Amino acid sequence: MGLFHLALFLYLVSPLSFVLSQDVEHGSVNVDGAQSIADTDENFICATIDWWPQDKCDYNNCPWGNTSIVNLDLSQPLLAKAIQGLKPLRIRIGGSLQDQVLYEVGYLKSPCQPFKKKNGGLFGFSNGCLQMERWDEINQFFNKTGAILTFGLNALNGRHKTKHSTWVGDWDPTNAHDLINYTISKGYNIDSWEFGNELSGKGIGANVGPIQYGKDLIKLKQIVNTMYDNHNFKPSLIAPGGFYDKDWFDKLLQVTGSGVVNALTHHIYNLGPGSDVNLDSKILDPDRLSKVESVFSNMSETVKKYGPWSNAWVGEAGGAYNSGGLGISDTFVNSFCALLWNQLMGKKVLSASSDVFSPFLRTYAHCSKGRDGVTFLLINLSNKTHFLLTIHDREAKEDDGAKHILKENSFSSHIKSAFSWVGTKASDVTFREEYHLTPKDGYLRSQTMLLNGNPLELTHAGEIPSLDPVKSDVHSPLHIAPLSIVFIVYPNFDAPACALEHKKTLF
């Protein structure tokens, strides 16, 4: 009861105080509920666990501690809870040092030893090693938590470095083969094997040409096909886990040919190095953020043209490179509530746009997850402008005489008559659910995120808190405060695109 009052109080009070004080921009958000424009994966939220040891330091800071896959404490209750909370969470094991990892299985030419600092070593480190005892623990942990495992294989094994940072020669598949054989013999489920890390294009540290890389991928595919021959499930092969370079990526797909690479993975670090003193303003710069659109659209073009059997994935996105920015990467300004996304946003993406002039308002809409209706995600990057919005169904608006968006055909005019806007349905849901995320005390570098004004903290029992919305009248304007991230659920937004999703499962 007390909590409900508090929530209601916040909702009623905040619009009054902001209207009196500052900069308010009014506008509307239009969404097309008739058809979806894209689908995301079931496990759209994913994470990487890296190899970096404790003594990996950048800019006088050594942030990795015991987070490497080789020393991470898998028995911490919170780790398991976090993975389970994000279910189905894909975890990729990979990162810069993966192309220096040997696996303690079969005949190893050198002893199985941990990474050590080494002058002249790739990224300043020696080769490292994954012990099979640890591999067992990792697989048991992933199995227990229901995580989906993508494992990044060493793609430099057997090659040698020539001038600059180009590595040549055939890949030696022996050690990878033995690891896969071991993994199968133990019955561990690997969703996908990834080949190499950041060796594409000019590479980071090292690079391999696309023709050689393609030849080796064909070899790896044959190994996977043979070894999983009589299995119900065959893991995907994904590559190259590197930065997009049109010529290199195009060539790779041409060389490997049909069906070899199941997903083409690329990395995004669009903030530059973690040492940049202007990181926060880069994070809030809509132009900079929008530049990734061009990379992804070129990637999609590459896939469409040379590898339609493949999918385009972001394999790693860290924001700022070289271990992130201290006091930035680990705070609100660089955060996003993956847990809310995972709970609310369904797979179908709807076209949504707003007519506000400011580029600082970012608008997304998906069919709601596991229920009827539509969920919006609105992000205000502005540090001063408040947005007051109304939400419109683009098709319903069309009925009011607004410009046509869909081509008229019998199908669309048929479904148009079935269109209705929230609240006009027989259903009596007259509220929407709002989740406003802001930093504590308005301090962008806070490590505490507020949900509807309340700090998101673990419960006394160490559980992840439940994420509760505030409800508000479906017809009232939506208030998006400066520097906030807001999820809005409209339980009875009558979007045919979303209804189709349910029908599919019925028939």
Ligand X SMILES: *[C@@H]1O[C@H](CO)[C@@H](O)[C@H](O)[C@H]1NC(C)=O
Distance, CA of 3 to CA of 20 (rounded, Å)? 26
385 binds ligand X (CB under 6 A): yes
141 binds ligand X, rule: CB under 6 A: no
Q: Does 384 bind ligand X (CB under 6 A)?
A: yes
Shortest reach from residue 239's CB to ligand X, in Å:
18
Q: What does the per-residue mask of binding to ligand X show for 226-245, with x meaning CB under 6 A?
A: ------------------x-
Active-site residue 433, yes or no? no
Q: Is 316 a catalytic residue?
A: yes
Report, in Å, the least distance between residue 250 CB and ligand X. Answer: 11
Contact 170, 158 (CB under 8 A): yes
CA angle 271, 273, 274 (to 5 degrees): 95
Give the distance from CA 162 to its chain's centroid: 35
| C-alpha–C-alpha distance, residues 65 and 63, integer Å | 6
Residue 197, H or E segment: none
Nearest distance, CB of residue 175 and ligand X, angstroms: 11
- The token duo for 125 is 């480190």
Among 127, 368, 382, 452, binds ligand X (CB under 6 A): 382
Whether a cis peptide bond, with omega within 30° of 0, leads into 240 is yes
Pairing mode of beta strands 470-473, 431-439: antiparallel
Site stretch for ligand X (CB under 6 A), options 36-44, 197-205, 292-300, 304-312: 292-300
Residue 163 token pair: 């001038």
259 near ligand X (CB under 6 A): no
CB 376 within 8 A of CB 364: yes
**298 lies in the binding site for ligand X (CB under 6 A):** yes
Shortest Å, Cβ 33 to ligand X: 29
Write the CB contacts of 250 (distance below 8 Å, at least 6 apart in sequence).
302, 305, 306
Q: Which stretch binds ligand X (CB under 6 A): 11-19, 116-124, 211-219, 382-390?
A: 382-390
Minimal distance in Å, beta carbon 454 to ligand X? 23
Residue 290 binds to ligand X (criterion: CB under 6 A): no
Nearer to ligand X among residue 154 and residue 382 (C-beta): 382
383 lies in the binding site for ligand X (CB under 6 A) = yes
How far apart, in whole angstroms, are the C-alpha atoms of residue 274 and residue 328?
A: 9
Count the residues of the shown chain that bind ligand X, applying the rule CB under 6 A: 23
Q: Taking CB under 6 A as the rule, does residue 67 contact ligand X?
A: no
Per CB under 6 A, which region of 13-21, 233-241, 291-299, 305-313 contacts ligand X?
Answer: 291-299
**DSSP line for 135-161:** HHHHHHHHHHHTPEEEEEE-S-TT-EE
Among 156, 284, 478, 486, which residue sits at the site for ligand X (rule: CB under 6 A)? 284
Question: Measured from the CB atom, is 123 or 188 closer to ligand X?
Answer: 188
Catalytic residue among 25, 198, 395, 398: 198
Q: How far is the CB of 436 from ligand X (least distance, A)?
A: 18
Identify which of residues 358 and 427 has a Cβ nearer to ligand X in the complex: 358
Minimum distance of ligand X from residue 296's CB (angstroms) = 9
- On whether the CB atoms of residues 39 and 506 are closer than 8 A, the answer is no
Count of residues making up the chain: 507
For residue 135, the number of C-alpha atoms closer than 13 Å in the C-beta half-sphere is 23
Q: Can you list the pairs that 214-217 forms with residues at least 24 positions away whose Cβ atoms lie under 8 Å?
A: 214/251, 214/252, 214/254, 214/255, 214/256, 215/170, 215/255, 216/155, 216/170, 216/171, 216/173, 217/252, 217/256, 217/260, 217/261
CB 24 within 8 A of CB 18: yes
Which residue number, 70 or 122, has a Cβ lying nearer to ligand X?
A: 70
**Pairing between strand 345-354 and 24-39?**
antiparallel
Residues 167-186 that bind ligand X (CB under 6 A): 178, 181, 185
Which C-beta is closer to ligand X: that of 178 or that of 276?
178
What is the closest distance, in whole angstroms, from the C-beta atom of residue 140 to ligand X in the complex?
Answer: 9
Residue number with CB closer to ligand X (382 or 492) = 382
* Residue recorded with tokens 């022996």: 174
Cα distances from 91 to residues 48, 193, 388, in angstroms, run 5, 12, 38
Binding mask 436-475 for ligand X (x = CB under 6 A): ----------------------------------------
Part of the chain binding ligand X (CB under 6 A), chosen from 40-48, 202-210, 294-302, 338-346: 294-302
Q: Which of 2, 120, 187, 462 binds ligand X (CB under 6 A)?
A: 187
Q: Under a CB-based contact definition with an 8 Å cutoff, are residues 159 and 167 in contact? A: yes
What is the distance between the alpha carbons of residues 115 and 214, in angstroms, rounded to a whole number? 28
Among residues 316, 395, 398, 434, the one annotated as catalytic is 316
61 binds ligand X (CB under 6 A): no
Does the protein bind ligand X through residue 295 (CB under 6 A)? yes
Binding mask 331-360 for ligand X (x = CB under 6 A): ---------------------------x-x
CB of 179 to ligand X, least distance (A): 10
Interface ranges with ligand X (CB under 6 A):
65-66, 143, 146, 178, 181, 185, 187, 189, 244, 246, 281, 284, 294-295, 298, 358, 360, 381-385
Catalytic residues: 198, 316
